[in-house]
């Protein structure tokens, strides 16, 4: 693919709930997922586009097909483009969807391609292609869950990911293996070998509470891991939320977790 991404500047503000500010020169454009927009200065034009806008000369059917592939990752057909139509520098801000960190990724440093979880992408310079990456192994396809269909980011510009909690970057040496909860995996370099493995052991499977499968990452290459996947955060909120008509089971109750288990709610 042609490498011609816009050269944007940026800064990140905040700690637990970070915001990303992208500074655009005249006629520079940033693209973002719908719903991430926070605010923008005047003379920035906001436009809804098919797909990621990385191939302007593509036919309508080509753009439709390209955008349609995003649906497989759980995203929508459209993205939002923000273009500076003024004469000076202008800024546009994007908000984190939940507590965590914004990760700036210069794709030039990673062989012009990164693979990430389907919900990790936040924004990018125009020219970065946001596509899908199928994991071809049978085990990954059948049991990968969150890790089967992933996003791939290609180009020579800046892309920004969002991940929950604390982010750990691991540099794997050739042949070095790391086993990761599938939800905690954020992104990895294209040369990292990725597979899904069975946890093993009857007690681990039935009572471990950590899932039946994990992601097996084998180097060389870098892997980014998050401490708080959104799915885990959502489960905690749902388990603690008051039930309709009163308190949640266990809130002020002697039975506590036992009451939830007897009612079939084992979270």
Per-residue tokens: 152? 């791939």
pLDDT for the residue 212: 65
For the four alpha carbons of 215, 72, 63 and 58, in that order, the dihedral sign comes to positive
Asked if the structure places residue 93 within a domain, the reply is yes
Residue 47: how many other CB atoms lie within 10 Å: 12
Asked if the structure places residue 121 within a domain, the reply is yes
Confidence of residue 30 (pLDDT cuts 50, 70, 90): very high
Asked if the structure places residue 246 within a domain, the reply is no
Average pLDDT value over all residues in the chain? 78
pLDDT in tens, 35-60: 899 999 999 999 988 765 655 555 55
- The domain that holds 168 is classified in CATH as 3.60.160.10
Asked if the structure places residue 79 within a domain, the reply is yes
Q: How many domains does the chain have?
A: 1
Asked if the structure places residue 100 within a domain, the reply is yes
Asked if the structure places residue 14 within a domain, the reply is yes
User: CA-CA distance, 180 to 261, in Å (whole number)?
Assistant: 28
Confidence of residue 234 (pLDDT cuts 50, 70, 90): confident
Share of the chain above pLDDT 70, in %: 68
Could you give the angle at the alpha carbon of 163 between the alpha carbons of 190 and 141, nearest 5°? 50
* 106: pLDDT strictly greater than 60: yes
pLDDT in tens, 146-161: 445 788 899 999 999 9
Asked if the structure places residue 219 within a domain, the reply is yes
**Per-residue b or e along 53-63, where b marks 16 or more CB atoms closer than 10 Å to that residue's CB:** bbeeeeeeeeb
**What range defines the domain where residue 139 resides?**
9-232
Output Rg (C-alpha) for the chain, integer angstroms.
21
Asked if the structure places residue 3 within a domain, the reply is no
User: CA-CA distance, 191 to 57, in Å (whole number)?
Assistant: 30
User: CA-CA distance, 186 to 16, in Å (whole number)?
Assistant: 17
């Amino acid at each position: 693919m042609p490498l011609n991404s816009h050269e944007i500047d940026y800064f990140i503000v905040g700690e637990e709930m970070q915001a990303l500010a992208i500074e655009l020169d005249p006629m520079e454009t940033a693209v973002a997922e719908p719903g991430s927009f926070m605010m923008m200065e005047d003379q920035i034009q906001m436009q809804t586009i098919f797909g990621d806008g990385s191939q302007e000369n593509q036919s309508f059917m080509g753009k439709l097909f390209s955008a349609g592939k995003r649906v497989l990752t759980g995203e929508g057909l459209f993205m939002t483009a923000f273009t500076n139509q003024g004469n000076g520098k202008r800024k546009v801000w994007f908000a984190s969807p939940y507590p965590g960190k914004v990760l700036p990724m210069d794709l030039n440093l990673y062989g012009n391609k990164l693979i990430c979880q389907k919900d990790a992408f936040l924004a990018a310079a125009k020219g970065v292609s946001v596509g899908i990456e199928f994991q071809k192994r049978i085990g990954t396809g059948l049991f990968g869950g969150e890790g089967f269909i992933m996003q791939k980011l290609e180009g020579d510009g800046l892309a920004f990911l969002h991940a929950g909690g604390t982010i750990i970057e691991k540099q794997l040496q050739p042949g070095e293996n790391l086993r990761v909860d599938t939800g905690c995996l954020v992104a990895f370099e294209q040369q990292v070998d990725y597979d899904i493995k069975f946890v093993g052991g009857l007690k681990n499977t039935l009572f471990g509470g950590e899932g039946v499968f994990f992601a097996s990452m084998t180097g060389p290459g870098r892997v980014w891991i998050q401490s708080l996947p959104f799915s885990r955060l959502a489960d905690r909120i749902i388990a603690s939320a008051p039930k309709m008509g009163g308190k949640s089971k266990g809130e002020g109750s002697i039975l506590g977790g036992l009451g939830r288990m007897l009612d079939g709610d084992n979270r």
